[in-house]
Amino acid sequence: MSDLTELTLAEARDAVAAKKISARELTEAFVKAVEEARPLNAFITETPDIALKMADESDKRIASGTARPLEGMPLGIKDLYCTKGTKTTAGSRILENYVPQYESTVSQNLWDNGAVMLGKLNLDEFAMGSSNETSAFGNCISPWRAEGSDAQLVPGGSSGGSSCAVSARLCLGATATDTGGSIRTPAAVTGTVGIKPTYGRCSRYGIVAFASSLDQAGPIAHTVRDAAILMKAMASVDPKDSTSVDVPVPDYEASLEGGVKGLRVGIPKEYRLEGTDPAITAIWDKGVEWLKAQGAEIVEVSLPHTKYALPTYYIIAPAEASSNLARYDGVRFGHRADAPKDLIDLYERSRAEGFGAEVRRRILIGTYVLSAGYYDAYYLRAQKIRSLIARDFTEAYKKCDVILTPATPAPAFGIGEKVADPVTMYLYDVFTVTVNLAGLPALVVPAGLSEKGLPLGLQLIGKAFDEATLFRAGRALEVAAEFNAKPAKWWRA
């Protein structure tokens, strides 16, 4: 094997298990790839010493016949997951030097399955963004470039470091989080696979909170099979998170090749939005044809409250963020302003110095909609509309098993192109936020390239806790799409 970083997670797992390569050889290849790719700014913290130590432990287990499912597999961890003894910044200056004394449940699940940590991945500050441009540690750059252009593109957000690292072959897979599309948007614009599972499928314990009723952990990976393998390892019920649900976690990989014959696929008529890139609409139509050709039944469904999803999301999410981020006051932990005049000055300057512009904007919006006199007019009304959006899906699933939609309204855009207009940036989440509001699972699969050679993704939305059907339908799309494009490794030049 000439370049071990070109393996998928499933291929690497099988090669290590068969002792064709060692976990240390595999990990050394990725450590080198991470060092060479620093121009992409995908990692905030690299942990090569930890990775090699974990790889050596994996080789000992393999030699003793006690290997675990992900033994020796090098992964990247979004820097929103607390990792014991390793800095966790949430992409913010206010947590610049924070070293957790405990491990998040999801990352602990991965280590218990034998995975290896390569480092902590870049993200939008506190996961607030769709382009990874709000990180206090500089924006992450997509490994993809449009044909004939050297312009830097966004890797999507907020899990931009995760999508970049997977797409650029800097790790076999990565953890991510999704509050309004932060797994699916980055996956769609970087030619990777991402799944946001059902709310409650993964524990949120140890993940820095943005909007607690919307946040959910999930993986970004090279293939549907890799995503299924990672999802199985990450999911669990957790007594430390009262919102995690005690339901069995299926062996998703085992049912991948079940096909879609007889599966009812819903096409929501409200998702044909004005302003959507024609290439996105064309790939959506092609996705319908692919599934129909494999025996799926295509039915039209209606999600009539979709048009209210974005304003609803941008009331609920900032409201919860303003509450969650109140803890960063310079007293308990995080950045502390120098020489404060009094307690109020300490609060004000610590927060003003520690938070970036987008986080401050959302705190202000959230505080406003929760304030006396406006709570009923904004927050309470948004919660009512959220119930209607969830009910739309319940009605739709009386006619279908999964729903097929675009993932983004356009391919990746240039760094700095939308940052001055937050409303335009928010519109990029138009196809993803409904899923978070309804608490449903959704999978994004790469389906083709734009005229300029940039990845386009399709989204499958499933019933609650039916990720297995999503993976099966996603695998059918993957086979039909035959997406094998990769970015040129220009950063090595």
Fold of domain 17-259:
Amidase signature (AS) enzymes (3.90.1300)
Mean pLDDT along residues 405-414: 96
Active site residue 158: yes
Residue 426, pLDDT > 90, answer no
Question: Of 62, 37, 54, 69, which Cα lies nearest the Cα of 118?
Answer: 54
Query: DSSP secondary-structure letter at 492?
Result: G
Please tell me whether residue 415 adopts helix, strand or coil conformation.
coil
Confidence of residue 2 (pLDDT cuts 50, 70, 90): confident
What does the alpha-carbon distance between residue 123 and residue 358 come to, in Å, rounded to a whole number? 13
Residue 281, pLDDT > 90, answer yes
Mean pLDDT along residues 43-49: 98
183-193 tens-digit pLDDT: 999 999 999 99
217 contact partners, CB below 8 Å, separation of at least 6: 81, 106, 175, 176, 177, 178, 197, 202, 203, 204, 207, 234
Confidence of residue 428 (pLDDT cuts 50, 70, 90): confident
- pLDDT at position 117: 98
- pLDDT at position 370: 96
**Residue 181 and residue 427 in contact, taking contact as beta carbons nearer than 8 Å:** no
- pLDDT at position 468: 98
pTM: 0.97
Residue 424, pLDDT > 90, answer no
Write down the catalytic residue from 78, 120, 196, 418. 78
Write down the catalytic residue from 22, 107, 130, 158. 158
Q: Is residue 13 exposed (0-12), middle (13-18) or buried (19+ Cβ within 10 Å)?
A: buried
Mean pLDDT along residues 220-231: 98
Joined together, the tokens standing for residue 281 give 């609409």
- pLDDT at position 249: 97
- pLDDT at position 142: 98
Query: What's the angle, vertex CA 245, arms to CA 459 and CA 231, rounded to 5?
Result: 45
Mean pLDDT along residues 165-193: 98
Q: Is residue 231 exposed (0-12), middle (13-18) or buried (19+ Cβ within 10 Å)?
A: buried
What does the alpha-carbon distance between residue 208 and residue 37 come to, in Å, rounded to a whole number? 27
What does the alpha-carbon distance between residue 41 and residue 62 come to, in Å, rounded to a whole number? 33
Active site residue 182: yes
Domain limits, the chain: 17-259
Query: Phi and psi (nearest 5°) for 294?
Result: -95, 10
Confidence of residue 275 (pLDDT cuts 50, 70, 90): confident
Residue 423, pLDDT > 90, answer no
Confidence of residue 420 (pLDDT cuts 50, 70, 90): confident
Write down the catalytic residue from 104, 182, 236, 322. 182
Mean pLDDT along residues 256-273: 96
Query: What's the angle, vertex CA 459, arms to CA 162 and CA 248, rounded to 5?
Result: 75
Query: What's the angle, vertex CA 235, arms to CA 230 and CA 240, rounded to 5?
Result: 140
153-163 tens-digit pLDDT: 999 999 999 99
Question: Of 153, 143, 173, which Cα lies nearest the Cα of 30?
Answer: 173
Confidence of residue 332 (pLDDT cuts 50, 70, 90): confident
Q: Are strands 173-177 and 193-196 parallel, antiparallel or unpaired?
A: unpaired
* Mean pLDDT of the chain, nearest integer: 96
Active site residue 78: yes
- pLDDT at position 333: 76
Question: Of 155, 167, 223, which Cα lies nearest the Cα of 195?
Answer: 223
Query: Phi and psi (nearest 5°) for 144?
Result: -85, 145
Query: DSSP secondary-structure letter at 414?
Result: B
